[in-house]
């Protein structure tokens, strides 16, 4: 599950704009690269969580009471404790783990 639980800070930190944009030479392109990767991470994490929650799904009639499942609650809490996708994407960008292509320029 914690595929994205790397050495990523769980809180927001200030970043140097000059060092972030040194590869692309444009801070806006850098932000778009990080944002697109963050969206990918968020979608993958959401799909993974939904698949695991389906294991606990109990289909009942509307008239029956719904009981809380402690395992399901704990699983949701584990995912809530994961670092935010934006922080993971920014860390991947800083570590040079992202591949991107801007207007025909291949970059790693």
pLDDT digits (tens, 9 = 90+) for 34-93: 999 999 999 999 999 889 888 877 665 566 665 667 888 888 888 888 889 999 999 999
Residue 104 lies in a domain: no
Separation between Cα atoms, residue 29 and residue 31, nearest integer Å: 5
What would the mean pLDDT of 16-39 be, rounded to a whole number? 91
Would you say residue 4 lies in a domain?
Answer: no
89 assigned to some structural domain:
yes
Residue 63 lies in a domain: no
Higher pLDDT, 92 or 108: 92
Look at residue 1 in the predicted model and tell me its pLDDT.
46
Distances (CA, A) of 72 to 16, 48, 80: 40, 13, 12
Does residue 90 form part of some domain? yes
In a domain, 100, yes or no: no
Domain count, the chain: 1
Contact at 8 Å (CB) between 27 and 61?
A: no
* 12 part of a folded domain: no
* pLDDT for residue 85: 92
Please check the confidence at residue 108 and state whether its pLDDT lies above 80. no
Print the domain residue range for 28.
18-57+68-94
């Amino acid at each position: 599950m914690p595929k994205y639980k790397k050495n990523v800070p769980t809180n927001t930190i200030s970043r140097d704009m000059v060092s972030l944009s040194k590869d692309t030479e444009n801070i806006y392109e850098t932000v778009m690269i990080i944002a697109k990767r963050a969206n990918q991470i968020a979608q993958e994490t959401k799909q993974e969580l939904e698949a695991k929650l389906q294991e606990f799904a109990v289909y009942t009639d509307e008239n029956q009471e719904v009981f809380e499942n402690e395992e399901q609650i704990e699983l949701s809490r584990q995912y809530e404790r994961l670092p935010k996708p934006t922080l993971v994407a920014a860390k991947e960008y800083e570590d040079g783990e992202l591949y991107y292509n801007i207007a025909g320029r291949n970059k790693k």
